[in-house]
């Protein structure tokens, strides 16, 4: 729209805060200033996706007569534009094989998880020459994740699959429903819960593994990351035949509280909270209160809050993950990065205080790891996810040890 000088159309896509801060005339000034600096706009050259707390970010690479730039477009939970910036172009970094992965130690096969309308493409990673391997299903965090949980140049689920398969464990990972079927998700706009978003498909993946002759079907495990970790106790409650569970950075508190906490952290990183950030924070707190005030009567009429319907929030209303995890009798491994700002040590401590006396539960805290279980230094920030890294080998080793391999 900017290239065609339809600045009013741009503003129509903005949220209320952006509309107030950036009317059409300001958008025009910004675009003209960009072209003055970079030269005349030539064409759009591809997009990349990032996540910043509760915001989705699309980087659109723009070619100008001078230097290329990335248009950084920030979308809020309702799909409205909450931020627009032009930043220096950074070429995408190619994924590199983790040092602990031995490519000749396993093979990969394309599979389909589930059947019918909501079936999902997946990858089955199988150790070479090992009959009856144990197997792990990988369950994603929030947002429309691909099978590798790609964020910037990082692919934590691919790291886990290749690292574990190199050590004798089969792994199944798959496209998340909200990514694979993004265009069909509006059909669930009033009824979506974590069952449709995550749990049903995780159980379909377990079912697929039970039908594979290469797998020791008495040793099928589920690993959940972030939201996936939070939902592990519900997955376990639905299928008591699963041999055990691994929780990586599993949230324990209401998601609406976690969202506000994340934004408070992100907006405070530079030491100041500006007017725009304060407005967004206040807006998020209002939405949190709306969620807490929801009743079953709101399911048809409330509209989306943080991009999810009332049914979603009501379904999670009384969910206490550590309490439900306490009812599991199978082995449980709970892992947490000490530098994680998305799911914090507060959550790890809540798992621990509820479960530390249970003989089936093991805890591991990694002081230098972030939310992706990649090592770093100092305070963790979203820009850290744009630096290429790999899931720590220590995490792979500890999972293998826990499996008694």
As given in the structure block, the two tokens for residue 79 are 């799909």
Average pLDDT over residues 73-88: 80
Give dist(CA 155, CA 148) in Å, integer: 5
Give dist(CA 198, CA 182) in Å, integer: 14
Give dist(CA 344, CA 335) in Å, integer: 11
For residue 129, what pLDDT is reported?
Answer: 86
CATH architecture of 7-88: Roll (3.10)
For residue 123, what pLDDT is reported?
Answer: 98
| Percent of the chain clearing pLDDT 70 (strictly above) | 99
For residue 53, what pLDDT is reported?
Answer: 59
For residue 285, what pLDDT is reported?
Answer: 94
Catalytic, out of 340, 347, 380, 392: 340
What is the DSSP code string of 274-314? Answer: -HHHHHHHHHHHHHHHHHHH--GGGTTTS--BTTB-HHHHH
Nearest to 97 by CA among 49, 153, 137: 153
Catalytic, out of 226, 284, 380, 392: 226
Q: List, for residues 14-41, the tens digit of each pLDDT value.
A: 888 788 878 888 888 888 888 877 788 8
Give dist(CA 56, CA 384) in Å, integer: 16
What is the DSSP code string of 348-375? Answer: HHHHHHHHTT-TTEEEEEETTB-TTSBB
Q: List, for residues 342-387, the tens digit of each pLDDT value.
A: 999 999 999 999 999 999 999 999 999 999 999 999 999 888 988 8
Q: List, for residues 286-316, the tens digit of each pLDDT value.
A: 999 999 999 999 988 778 888 889 999 999 9
DSSP class of residue 229 equals H
Residue 164, pLDDT above cutoff 70: yes
For residue 211, what pLDDT is reported?
Answer: 96
For residue 378, what pLDDT is reported?
Answer: 92
User: Is 181 labeled as catalytic in the residue annotation?
Assistant: no
- Calculate Rg over the CA atoms of the chain: 22
- Residue 65 burial (CB count, 10 A): 10
Confidence bin at 76 (pLDDT 50/70/90):
confident
For residue 51, what pLDDT is reported?
Answer: 66
Confidence bin at 52 (pLDDT 50/70/90):
low
As given in the structure block, the two tokens for residue 392 are 């720590």
Confidence bin at 13 (pLDDT 50/70/90):
confident
Alpha helices in 188-333 (DSSP H): 194, 200-210, 227-230, 232-238, 255-267, 275-293, 310-316, 321-325
For residue 55, what pLDDT is reported?
Answer: 72
Confidence bin at 84 (pLDDT 50/70/90):
confident
Catalytic, out of 315, 371, 380, 390: 371
Which of 160-174, 222-236, 254-268 has the least mean pLDDT? Answer: 254-268
Average pLDDT over residues 250-273: 91
For residue 54, what pLDDT is reported?
Answer: 62
Return the CATH number of 103-252+320-402, one of 1.10.3300.10, 3.20.20.120, 3.40.50.1820, 3.90.180.10.
3.40.50.1820
User: Is 371 labeled as catalytic in the residue annotation?
Assistant: yes
User: Is 8 labeled as catalytic in the residue annotation?
Assistant: no
What are the residue ranges spanned by the domains of the chain? 7-88, 103-252+320-402
Residue 1, pLDDT above cutoff 80: no
Angle ∠(307,193,267) on CA atoms, nearest 5: 35
Helix, strand, or coil (residue 91):
coil
Tell me the backbone φ, ψ of residue 402, rounded to 5 degrees.
-60, -35
Q: What is the mean pLDDT of the chain?
A: 91
Q: List, for residues 94-112, the tens digit of each pLDDT value.
A: 889 999 999 999 999 999 9
Residue 60, pLDDT above cutoff 90: no
How many helices, marked H, and strands, marked E, lie in the chain? 15, 12
């Amino acid at each position: 729209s900017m290239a065609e000088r339809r600045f009013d159309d741009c503003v129509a896509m903005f949220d209320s805060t952006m509309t107030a801060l950036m009317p059409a005339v300001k958008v025009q000034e910004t675009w003209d200033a960009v072209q003055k600096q970079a030269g005349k706009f030539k064409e759009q050259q591809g997009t990349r996706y990032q996540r910043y707390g509760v915001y989705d970010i699309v980087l659109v690479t723009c070619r100008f007569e001078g230097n290329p730039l990335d248009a950084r477009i920030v979308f809020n939970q309702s799909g409205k534009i909450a931020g627009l910036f032009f930043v220096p172009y950074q070429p995408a970094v190619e994924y590199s094989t983790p040092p602990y992965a031995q490519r000749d130690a396993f093979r990969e096969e394309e599979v389909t998880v589930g059947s019918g309308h909501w079936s999902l493409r997946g990858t089955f990673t199988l150790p070479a020459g090992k009959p009856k391997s144990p197997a792990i299903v990988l369950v994603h965090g929030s947002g429309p994740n691909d099978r590798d949980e790609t964020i910037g140049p990082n692919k934590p689920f691919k790291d886990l699959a290749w690292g574990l398969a190199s050590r004798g464990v089969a792994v199944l990972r798959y496209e998340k429903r909200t990514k694979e079927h993004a265009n069909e998700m509006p059909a669930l706009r009033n009824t979506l819960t974590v069952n449709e978003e995550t749990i049903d498909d995780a159980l379909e993946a377990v079912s697929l593994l039970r039908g594979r002759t290469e797998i020791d079907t008495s040793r099928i495990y589920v690993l959940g990351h972030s939201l996936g970790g939070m939902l592990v106790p519900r997955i376990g409650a639905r299928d008591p035949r699963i041999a055990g569970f691994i929780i990586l950075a599993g949230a324990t508190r209401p998601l609406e509280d976690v969202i506000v906490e994340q934004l408070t952290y992100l907006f405070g990183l530079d030491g100041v909270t500006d007017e725009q950030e304060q407005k967004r924070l206040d807006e998020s707190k209002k939405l949190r209160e709306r969620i807490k005030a929801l009743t079953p009567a709101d399911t048809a009429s409330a509209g989306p809050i943080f991009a999810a319907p009332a049914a979603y929030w009501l379904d999670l209303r009384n969910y206490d993950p550590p309490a439900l995890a306490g009812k599991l009798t199978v082995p449980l491994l709970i892992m947490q990065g000490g530098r994680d700002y998305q799911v914090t040590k507060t959550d790890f401590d809540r798992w621990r205080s509820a479960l530390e006396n249970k003989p089936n539960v093991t805890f591991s805290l990694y002081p230098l790891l972030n939310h992706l279980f990649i090592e770093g230094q100092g305070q963790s920030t979203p820009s850290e996810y744009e630096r290429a890294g790999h899931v720590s080998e220590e995490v792979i080793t500890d999972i293998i040890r826990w499996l008694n391999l």
